[in-house]
Chain A
Amino acid sequence: MAAPQIVMQARGLVKRYGQVTALDGADFELRAGEILAVIGDNGAGKSSLIKALSGATIPDEGEILLDGRPVHFRNPMEARREGIECCYQDLAVAPAMTIAENLFLGRELRREGVLGNLLRMLDKKKMLEIAVERMADLKVGIRSMTQAVETLSGGQRQCVAVARAAAFARHVVILDEPTAALGVKEGNMVLELIRRVRDKGLPVILISHNMPHVFEIADRIHVARLGRRAAVLNPKKISMSDTVAVMTGAMKPEDIPADCLA
C-alpha cells in the first residue's frame, strides 16, 4: 500500500496567551484527498490549532510544513497565498453585498489596460462569470450570484461561505463549525458540498461539535485534548461514544484498540 501523501503537517506547536497555554506541543497531520475532522472539548486547543494553521495566529514554538516545506504565516493573507482557505464560524461575509462580491472580497479582479491599472477599475463582469462557474462546479444551487447574501437562508449562506473557501483554495480548505445552527435538510446540503470539495481533490479540515455529521463525512478524526493531539481515530471502526470518551479523557489514548486508530 502506498504511503499516504501528507499535505500539511505540524509538530510541537506551542501557543500561550498570558498564563493560559492554549497549545502545549500539538502535532497535526493532514493527508491528501481526505476530510479530517478536528474535535475536542472547549479549551482543548482546537481553535488555536486552526488559527495557527490558517495564519490567524503565530505559534510561539513548533513548526508547520506544507507539502514538506516549512512555512511561517504572519497573517491570513500569507496563508491564503499558499492556497490555504478558511471558512470561519461566523461566515465572515458582508451581508449587504452580493454573493459574487463576497466571493472576491479581498482578492478583487481588475480590468485590463488603463481602466484597470490607472483607474483601478474592477472587472465586475469577469468576477461574476467566475463566481457562477465555480459555484456551478460545486453544484451549489443558488440562482443568482448578484443577490445580496442577506437574502439567502442560513444553509445557503453557509454554502456560499464554504464554496468561497473551496473556490479559491489550491491546497487546503479549513471549515470551522460549518453545520452549526442549521436544520437537518440544510445541514445535509452543506455536507454534500463538503464531499464534493474533497472529491475535487482538496483536502478538508473540519472542526465540528456535531458528532453525527463528523461520523458521516470524516475520513479520520483528530482528537484535541489539553492543547495536544490525543489520538487520530478511524470513524469506521470506533463508536461515537468511545470517541466522546477519548475526547473527555474518560478513555485514555493507550486504551484505544489498535484498529480504531487511523
Chain B
Amino acid sequence: MSTVKDRLPPLSQLGPFIALAVACTVFGLTTDNFFTAANFSLILQQVMVVGVIAIGQTLIVLTAGIDLSCGMLMALGSIVMTKVAQDFGLPTPLAILLGIGATTLFGLLNGLLVTRIKLPPFIVTLGTMNVAFAITQLYSSAQTVTEVPEGMTWLGNTFELAGNPVAYGVVLMVALYLATWFWLRDTASGRHVYAVGNNPEATRLIGIPTDRVLLGVYVLAGLFYGIASLLSVARTGVGDPNGGQTENLDAITAVVLGGTSLFGGRGVVLGTLAGAIVVGVLRNGLTLMGVSSVYQVLITGILVIVAVTVDQLSRKGGR
C-alpha cells in the first residue's frame, strides 16, 4: 500500500523547486518589483546561458563525471563564431556552425580521454579547461569582438506573449530542456546514461556499449556548450574572451542544486533548470533588496551544502 509520501519524488528532486518557491515568496514580499512578468522574463534571460551549459553538465554528472571546462568551452565557442564572421566574413550560419563545431570537438576530446585513456573526468576537464582558455585568449588577442552580425544576436530579442516580453533564447533553452528530459526518461539510450552512471560494471556485463554511451554524453555536452555560446553572443552582443568564468561554477551549482547526484545515476534534468533559475533569482532578488552580493554567495553556498546532504541522506535511507 503506497502512501502519498511514496508517490512523491524524492526530496533531492523536489528540493530546488521548494527553494525556488521560498526565494520567490521572500523576494516578492520584501521588494516592489520582483513579482512582475518583466522581471521574470529578465531573470530567465540572465540564466539562459548557464541554463543550457547546465544541460550538458547534467548529462556528464549523471554518468558520475564532472566537467570543469564547460564555461571555458562556451567562451571558446563564442570567440570562434564571432571571429570567423569578423575576420573572414563568413556567412552567419556557417560561422555559428564552426563555433558550435569547436566546442563539440573539445567535448569529443574530453570523451576520448575519459573512455580511451581512462583518465578521471575531473583531471581531463581541468586540463581542457586551461587549454580552451589559452586558445580563446590567444585567438582573440584578449580583445572582445564587438562587430557581431545581427544573425547571431536575434536569439536575444524578445517577442510579446500575452503582453509579456519573452526572449527567443529562453524559448530555445526551455525546448532543449524538455527534449533532453524526454530523451533521458523515455528512450533506451537515455536510460542507459543513468545505468552507466549508476553501475558501469553492470552495463558492461549486460552488454551495453558503456564507452560509447560515455563518449556520446561528452560530445553531446560539447554541443550544448556551443549552443550556449551562441546564446551568450546573443545576449551580450559581443564575443567575450573573458566570458564563461562565472558560468563554469554556476553550471555545476545548478546541477547540484537541481538534485542530480554527483555519484551518478540519479537526477532529473528539469531539476537543473530549477537550480539555474534559483541562482538567477538570488542574484536578482538580493540586488532588488539592496543586499550586498556577498550574501548571495553565502546563500548559494548553503543551498549547495543542503542539496548534497539531502542527496546523501535520501540514498542512505533507501538502502
Question: A residues touching B (Cβ–Cβ < 8 Å)?
Answer: 56, 75-77, 80, 86, 88, 90-97, 101, 105-106, 108, 110, 119-122, 124, 144, 148, 150-151
Contact of B199 among A94, A108, A110 (CB under 8 A): A94
17 contacts between A and B (CB under 8 A): A75-B207, A76-B207, A80-B207, A90-B201, A90-B202, A92-B201, A94-B202, A95-B198, A95-B265, A97-B198, A105-B191, A105-B192, A105-B195, A105-B202, A121-B187, A122-B186, A144-B2
- 1/0 per residue, CB under 8 A from A, across B88-122: the answer is 00000000000000000000000000000000000
How long is the Cα–Cα vector from A88 to B187 in the complex, in angstroms? 26
Nearest to A121 among chain B residues (CB) is: B186
Q: What number of B residues sit within 8 Å (CB to CB) of A? A: 23
Assess whether A94 is in contact with B187, with CB atoms less than 8 Å apart: no
Chain B residues near A110 (CB-CB < 8 A): 188
Task: Tell me, yes or no, whether B203 is within 8 Å of chain A by CB.
Answer: yes
How long is the Cα–Cα vector from A150 to B205 in the complex, in angstroms? 19
Question: B residues touching A (Cβ–Cβ < 8 Å)?
Answer: 2, 182, 186-189, 191-192, 194-195, 198-199, 201-203, 205-208, 265-266, 318-319
Judged by DSSP, the binding face of B is: helix
Assess whether A92 is in contact with B199, with CB atoms less than 8 Å apart: yes
Chain A residues near B191 (CB-CB < 8 A): 97, 101, 105, 108, 122
Contact of B195 among A80, A97, A148 (CB under 8 A): A97
Judged by DSSP, the binding face of A is: loop
How long is the Cα–Cα vector from A93 to B204 in the complex, in angstroms? 11
Contacts beyond the supplied A80-B207, A92-B202, A105-B206: 12 A-B pairs with Cβ under 8 Å? A86-B205, A88-B205, A94-B202, A94-B265, A96-B198, A97-B265, A101-B191, A105-B192, A119-B187, A120-B189, A148-B318, A151-B318
How long is the Cα–Cα vector from A110 to B191 in the complex, in angstroms? 13
Chain B residues near A90 (CB-CB < 8 A): 201-202
How long is the Cα–Cα vector from A95 to B194 in the complex, in angstroms? 10
Query: Top 10 A-B pairs ranked by shortest CB distance?
Result: A92-B202, A77-B207, A94-B198, A108-B188, A92-B205, A94-B195, A106-B206, A76-B207, A96-B265, A96-B198
